[in-house]
Amino acid sequence: MFPKSTSIGIAVLTATAAGLAFVGCSQSAPNAPAPQAATSNSAPPAARTGESPSAAEPGAEHGHIPGAHGGIIVSLGRDSYHVEAIVTNEGELRLYTLGNDETRVMDIAAQPLVAYGKPTGGTDSVTFDIAPSPQPGDGKGQASMFVAKLPQSLVGGSIDVTVPSITIQGERFRLGFTTKSEEQGGEHRGDAMPAKIANDAERKLYLTPGGHYTQADIVANGNVTASQKFAGFRAEHDLNPKVGDKICPVTLTKANPKCTWIVAGEAYEFCCPPCVDEFVLQAKTTTDDLKPPTHFVKREAGSTEGK
């Protein structure tokens, strides 16, 4: 039930979506060209139903919080939806689909995606496939994460990536971004935690039992919400856990023993509070058996976590 992914690396992204260009999704770059190639593998034109805003229109510039997984969030269709894009140090591309509120995970139709990538400043692009990789809590036939192994020619440097068409709620969007990996000794230190879910929704999530999440869990966690328990918490995402390290059930990065939550009577360790939100929601809504905390341990290279 948990994503078959490896440890997450950090990407700094200059993102374009639905005909707009964003730098960190906070600065607009009017009329920025989509990545183009001089070969037959050039990315096709953007595809989207309905209107797309112009960079010159009011409200085209806006800011977004950093992604909960360490990436930068790209806006689609006047903030109707969002995508968090990440490139790992192992050369894996991950796309997380989010709703209008970019702190909320949104599963969409599980669809194969075709992407075009080229080294930044280059002319020749290569195609690669991005496959849906459902996360715990995603509906049947749905996915909130999409994963690709980058071609070797695109690993290790800044690249332009274009996804000509991704369908969300019946609408087609074009997604593009430029990546540049940052080597930070295997760690990403967040300056601040992402915005929390609304207070009423958070209280309902944490203080009412459901599914695998029991009243005994609520008491064991101190009858508080995650934002109350982890007030002032600063995440330190270790992107390269060692064999034997505990890993976060949501991101599979190294778990932080300071970020622990009781679910189904057992203590799970997470990388940051937003992952606690997600895991508790999954525990309350899924009918699948929960994997025990011992499942979430970094295994030998090439093996699957928990096997």
CATH of the domain at 73: 2.60.40.10
155 in a structural domain:
yes
> Which residues face 188 on adjacent strands?
237
103 and 228 part of one domain: no
70 and 200 part of one domain: no
37 and 52 part of one domain: yes
Residues 6+ apart with CB under 8 A from 213: 263, 264, 280, 283, 284
Encode pLDDT of 81-124 as tens digits. Answer: 888 888 877 788 899 998 888 778 899 999 999 999 998 888 88
Q: Coil, strand or helix: which one is 8? A: coil
pLDDT of residue 107: 94
pLDDT at 2 over 70: no
Q: Model pTM?
A: 0.46
Q: Which of 155, 181, 207 is the last residue of a domain?
A: 181
Q: What is residue 156's DSSP assignment? A: T
75 and 196 part of one domain: no
pLDDT at 145 over 50: yes
C-alpha dihedral sign at 222, 227, 231, 236: positive
Tokens 């989010």, located at residue: 98
The number of domains in the chain is: 2
Q: Which of 133, 162, 181 is the last residue of a domain?
A: 181
CA atoms of 111 and 143, how far apart (whole Å)? 8
Q: Tokens standing for 54?
A: 């112009």
173 and 253 part of one domain: no
Encode pLDDT of 176-204 as tens digits. Answer: 877 754 443 333 444 344 445 557 888 89
46 and 69 part of one domain: yes
CA atoms of 13 and 23, how far apart (whole Å)? 7
26 and 108 part of one domain: yes
203 and 163 part of one domain: no
Share of the chain above pLDDT 90, in %: 34
> Domain containing 229: what range?
187-295
CA atoms of 68 and 91, how far apart (whole Å)? 20
164 and 247 part of one domain: no
Q: Which of 164, 181, 198 is the last residue of a domain?
A: 181
3 in a structural domain:
no
